[in-house]
Structure 1
């Protein structure tokens, strides 16, 4: 029995400042619309940390530095691929904020996040970004329904 499996790697980054704000993206993607943090796919052979720096720049115009890996989201796709989202966070950034084809980007106070239409289960994902005792967001299917587990 093989111990390998097909996988898709992506990333997401919580960018925050000293004034209690976080950078969010209002995604226009019909597969997962709503407010979330910016991020995207890891290219074949690309280091994970480079991918998050590249994706944040492409989607926001900001250049981030020293992204810290703070958690993981994972689930199996309908094609039985493991879909992995690497969660990063940083408060080191520069550049001029600009929207992309992925959606508009803007700063909000962190405590106002709940007042926006969030992408599905994003409120649970934020816990992994922020709580030291959590490192994983995991979907599993049971009885034909998807369930969220936080570890």
Structure 2
């Protein structure tokens, strides 16, 4: 018998730990479960399958289930028993961050990737991993790509890109950091071809560099932005991962 739990959307979530190994047994229990849930007037069924349970996917889709979201080692399907049944939307954006970071000589830190199709340079940065804080991710990326240790100061802006990868949009945060060291020592030698400190005027005036990144440096070199704050009573089931407020950029996280 398949075990399931009620959710907040007048639906049920099937416990994947109770799924049998046999397809024939799964089909038998699956049909009983469908009948039971429908008889209870539920509107939605969630089914998450681990990669080793993928043999059950076609059985579920033949019953009307559709894909909802997917991770590397599991996939979640849903069945809307009622056509208008509400299911929370799938993630729509990926998150990236770029570092606007200067040294004591007012030079900006830039990198060139090995996969680059032009001779220009860009800001260090990259993808923010699942569960990772923006303020910690950008420090990590700067170190991996340049070997520079830095401290997070704040967010100076962001941009969005429509349909970036895998049909998702992207949000790109522009983070202000201060350099704690200056010696370039690239850690990710497979990805980064070159990293260097560059005079701002040289970078802005070099047409080989991206027009967008040149505008970033031009606009943000003296800008303030949003700093990281600790919000009182930030607790409970929906605790905020990070909070940024506009104001003087004084709060810093180092690495």
TM-score normalised by structure 1 residue count:
0.73
Distance, in Å, in 2 between the alignment partners of 1:32 and 1:83 is 22
Choose between structure 1 and 2: higher strand proportion: 1
Distance, in Å, in 1 between the alignment partners of 2:162 and 2:119 is 20
Distance, in Å, in 2 between the alignment partners of 1:30 and 1:17 is 25
CA contact (8 A) 1:32 1:119 kept: no
Q: Say whether 1:111 aligns with 2:198.
A: no
Give the equivalent residue in structure 1 for 2:179: 92
User: What is the Cα-based RMSD across aligned positions, in Å?
Assistant: 2.8
CA contact (8 A) 1:128 1:134 kept: no
Deviation at 1:125, TM superposition (A): 3.0
Give the equivalent residue in structure 1 for 2:153: 67
Distance, in Å, in 2 between the alignment partners of 1:71 and 1:32 is 25
Give the equivalent residue in structure 1 for 2:104: 18
CA contact (8 A) 1:10 1:84 kept: yes
With over 3 angstroms needed to count, the CA separation of the structure-2 counterparts of 1:33 and 1:96, relative to structure 1, is same
Query: Which SS does the other structure have where 1:51 is aligned?
Result: helix
Q: Unmatched 5+ residue regions in structure 1?
A: 136-151
Deviation at 1:27, TM superposition (A): 2.5
CA offsets, 1:38-73, max 9 Å, x none? 001000010111100111111011111133211101
Query: Which SS does the other structure have where 2:132 is aligned?
Result: coil
Larger-gyration structure (1/2): 2
Matches within 5 A, 1:19-98: 19-30=105-116, 34-77=120-163, 79-94=166-181, 96-98=183-185
Q: Unmatched 5+ residue regions in structure 2?
A: 1-85, 227-255
CA contact (8 A) 1:64 1:90 kept: yes
Choose between structure 1 and 2: higher helix proportion: 2
CA contact (8 A) 1:25 1:106 kept: yes
Query: Which SS does the other structure have where 1:62 is aligned?
Result: coil
Deviation at 1:37, TM superposition (A): 1.0
Per mean C-alpha deviation after superposition, the further-off stretch among 73-82 and 41-50 is: 73-82
